Structure 1
Amino acid sequence: MHAYGSWLVIGAEVGGLRVGDMLFALVSFAILLFLLRKYAWGPLLNKMEERENHIASEIDIAEKNRTEAEKASREAAEQLKQTRQEAQSIIEEAKKAGQNQERDILESARQAAERIKKSAQEEIEQEKEKAIKALQDQVASLSVQIASKVIEKEINAQDQEKLINEYIKEVGEER
């Protein structure tokens, strides 16, 4: 048995390794490897695959959100630009309306001033005509009075001039 047992021990001089122990260790390792593969490696790989899918899904969602945010940002910038243009056009329209209104007001004021001026000129003309008519009436009246006085008494040139001056004075006072 010693001969049979000697090949089972490798390097027996130094303390050696026994083949039976090695076979037991290999079989135990194979069983452990099989059990690990069945109960630990499979679930571990499944968990890692789930984690990988979850991360990929999160990356896809983040990329989609980033794309949507960029799109929303571009749309907001476009709307802001459009709003600014609309505000600028409203301001321009208001300026034009203000200028038109100013021009209309000035034109109305000018027309009113023209009407007032024309009315005043007509009134002045009427008053002038009245004054001329009144003056003519007074001159005619004075002429009649002077003639009647001259007829009543004959006077010399000096008296006649004095008489005319008195009547002119009277006319001036009556005014």
Structure 2
Amino acid sequence: MLTNGFVLASAWTPGDAIYQLITILILLALLKKFAWGPLLNVMKQREDHIANEIDAAEKSRLEANKFLEEQRKLLKEARHEAQALIENAKKQGEVQREDIISASRAEGERMIESAKLQIEQQKEQAVAAIREQVASLSVLIASKVIEKELSIEDQEKLINDYIQEAVEKR
């Protein structure tokens, strides 16, 4: 039968069905060997690669966490060391301050003692100088008295003159 230039098969036969079944089976075998197998291999490789990447990422995350904990521990230790250094520096500063205060007090006391000694020496020198002046004035007065017999008024005038002279010499 011919319809519009096509031949229509009107009869279906069991041989055709077997032929089509064999063709489909061959096609499936070829697909399995050349398409399905390589496709499954590629998918398996991709799955393995993704699993390896996940494992590597997990290892990296664990290492990063370990490193972070180590850094935190080191930072904590560094803070403790810094605090200890600060405390030590404060203690040393306090000791130095006390040493400086003690040294200053000792130096002040030494200076006071030295000044007292100098004052005492100058006082003794002044007393010695006054004794010398009194002695020389006494000798001078005595020599003047011996030279002339004086009245009480003359003696007072003479003493006042010598005292005035002694004051002026100073």
TM-score between the two structures when normalised by the length of structure 1: 0.80
Larger RCO (alpha carbons 8 Å, 6+ apart): 2
What is the alpha-carbon distance in structure 1 between the residues aligned to residue 113 and residue 11 of structure 2? 143
Residue 51 of structure 1 corresponds to: 46
What is the alpha-carbon distance in structure 2 between the residues aligned to residue 125 and residue 16 of structure 1? 156
**Cα deviation digits, residues 77-107 of structure 1 (max 9, x gap):** 1112212222232233233333333333333
State the 1:166 CA deviation. 1.1
Residue 135 of structure 2 corresponds to residue 143 of structure 1: no
Farther-moved stretch of structure 1 (115-124 vs 96-105): 96-105
- In the alignment, structure 1 segments of 5+ residues that lack a partner are 1-14
TM-score between the two structures when normalised by the length of structure 2: 0.82
Residue 65 of structure 2 corresponds to residue 64 of structure 1: no
- In the alignment, structure 2 segments of 5+ residues that lack a partner are 1-9
State the 1:53 CA deviation. 1.4
**Cα deviation digits, residues 4-59 of structure 1 (max 9, x gap):** xxxxxxxxxxx564322222111111111222223332222222222211111111
1:154 aligned counterpart, secondary structure: coil
Identity %: 55
Residue 68 of structure 2 corresponds to residue 89 of structure 1: no
Residue 68 of structure 2 corresponds to: 73
Residue 162 of structure 2 corresponds to residue 170 of structure 1: no
What is the alpha-carbon distance in structure 2 between the residues aligned to residue 124 and residue 16 of structure 1? 153
Number of aligned residue pairs: 161
What is the alpha-carbon distance in structure 1 between the residues aligned to residue 103 and residue 131 of structure 2? 41
Residue 24 of structure 1 corresponds to: 19
Aligned alpha-carbon RMSD (Å): 2.0
Aligned equivalent of 1:119, options 111, 114, 122 = 114
What is the alpha-carbon distance in structure 2 between the residues aligned to residue 172 and residue 124 of structure 1? 22
